[in-house]
Structure formats: structure tokens, C-alpha cells
Amino acid sequence: MQDPFKIDGPTCISFSGGRTSAYMLWRVLESNGGLPGDARVLFCNTGKEHDATLRFVRDCQRAWNVDITWLEYRSDDPRFAVVNYDTASKEGQPFAQLISKRNYLPNPVARFCTSELKVLTIQRYLKSVGIDDFETMLGIRADEKRRVAKLRDGNLTPLVAANVSQADVQAFWRNQDFDLGLDHRNGVTSWGNCDLCFLKGPNQVLSLIRDQPERAVWWAKQEEKIGGTFRSDRPAYSEMAKFAERQQDMFADQEGIPCFCGD
């Protein structure tokens, strides 16, 4: 079988900043003897990633001596900015800019946050450096059946081809000198991706707010700014923060919605 991690043309390695996509990057480096010249590793920072995620991306760069380009959405042309660990937004500025520009909140039906903050930001950057035709490599595992089923043609999923599971990824990180540093529970890194993403299950969001109440402030501020909510089927973030403060249960057991922001 051909090595699915072998790169033979212009490739965007989409690095979410999680353990799975980092493991995929390591496998790519191992298979290719480093990063091929026609491959780019791109990390899109929304400004709402957990601090540990940003440190993890930086640590991968240093430990593996690999160039990772950090990108952020901008509302003005060229609609993106190249940043680094020191200059990256840490208070949700790119996401807030997008909401202000649209004057509308993303929601489970209109999930324009992923497309604008990540997919289109990557495309704009690559075009700016003369790369118009490329394949995108995504860190999706073989055991993520719902995400695999929703994939469009044209994306590379080497972890699926190699039958890599969550157990494989966790075994790898147990033997490394550094790690993401975020709790992993029942196959989910709760603080992964945007900290209180509206696609996460309501009980999960409520639990996260209880752990770090200050994280709810940004989300509540965006809802107040627009005069609406990220979801019509659950209370506003300000209300969830109040419930969390009182240590009350608020929801029945509801699952989150799988997204393509990463792991």
C-alpha cells in the first residue's frame, strides 16, 4: 500500500492545534524526511483557542523544527494576517471582527465562522504566495465516522487510510517529551478548538464555564453586540454563566455537533 503520508504535490497541511492533527504532521515529517518544499503547514487562530493550544503549536514548531505558518482572519484586504505565538490574538479579535463585519452571529445552520476564519483564510494566504491549486490534508481519524461521512472530495485523510484511531494518537503522546496539556475525556478534548464553541454539547459548555467562568464573557458580549444568540435552542451565554455560578444543571444529556475546525 502506498504511504498515505507521502506528499507528491502542492499540499496544505491543515493543523488545528490538537493532538490528532499534530500526530498527522509528525507522520508526514517521518514519511518525507522533513517537510517537502511544496507543502505548507497552516494553523488558523480564531483568537478563541485555549492558551494551551497556542503553546502546543509553538512547541511542535520547536521540537520538530518545522515551519508552521500562523494565520488570522482580517475584515480588511487582504483578509488575512500572518502572525506568530507572540503576536497572535488571544482575546477573540479575529472572530469578533468577522461577527461585526457580518452583523450576524454564526449558528448551527449558518456556520460561516469555520469557512471564513479557517478555509477561506487559508485559500487567501496560499493564493498570495502563488499557490492556486493544492490538496488539503486533514487530521481526521479512522474512528471519526461522522466527520469522515461529511467530507467532500479532494481532501486527503491519511489517518483514515492508515486506520489510525484515538487510542493510537493517545499512545503516541504518552511517549513524547511535550503534550497539549488539556484534559482528554471519553475521546474528547473539551477545551479543543474555540473554547466555548456553540457546536459543543450544552452540558459540555456549561461544564467548561464552571471551570473557567471568564471564558463566557466574550461569547456573551458578542450576543449582546448583535442582539441575538448563537443558538435558538439554548439560553444565551450570559444565562448559562449565571446557571454555572449557581452550580445548577440546565440541560438534558444532549450531544454536540461535529465540526471541521479540528480536534
Average the pLDDT over 45-60 and give the result.
Answer: 97
pLDDT at residue 145 in the model: 81
Average the pLDDT over 105-124 and give the result.
Answer: 97
pLDDT at residue 255 in the model: 53
Across the chain, mean pLDDT equals 92
Query: What order of strands is seen across the sheet that includes strand 11-14?
Result: 80-83, 68-73, 39-44, 11-14, 135-137, 155-156
Helix (H, G, I), strand (E, B) or coil at 146: helix
Interatomic CA distance for residues 177 and 72, integer angstroms: 29
Output the nine-digit C-alpha cell for 258: 461535529
Interatomic CA distance for residues 232 and 229, integer angstroms: 6
**pTM listed for this prediction:** 0.92
Q: Is the predicted pLDDT of residue 5 greater than 70, yes or no?
A: yes
pLDDT at residue 252 in the model: 47
Look at the block and give the residue holding cell 488558523. 44
Average the pLDDT over 106-119 and give the result.
Answer: 96
**C-alpha dihedral sign at 106, 111, 114, 117:** negative
pLDDT at residue 173 in the model: 97
pLDDT digits over 153-163, tens only? 779 999 999 99
Least confident among 16-30, 218-232, 246-260: 246-260
Confidence of residue 189 (pLDDT cuts 50, 70, 90): confident
Interatomic CA distance for residues 251 and 217, integer angstroms: 20
Residue 30: which H helix or E strand, with range? helix 19-32
Q: What's phi and psi for 13, nearest 5 deg?
A: -95, 105
Query: If one looks up domain 11-174 in CATH, what number appears?
Result: 3.40.50.620
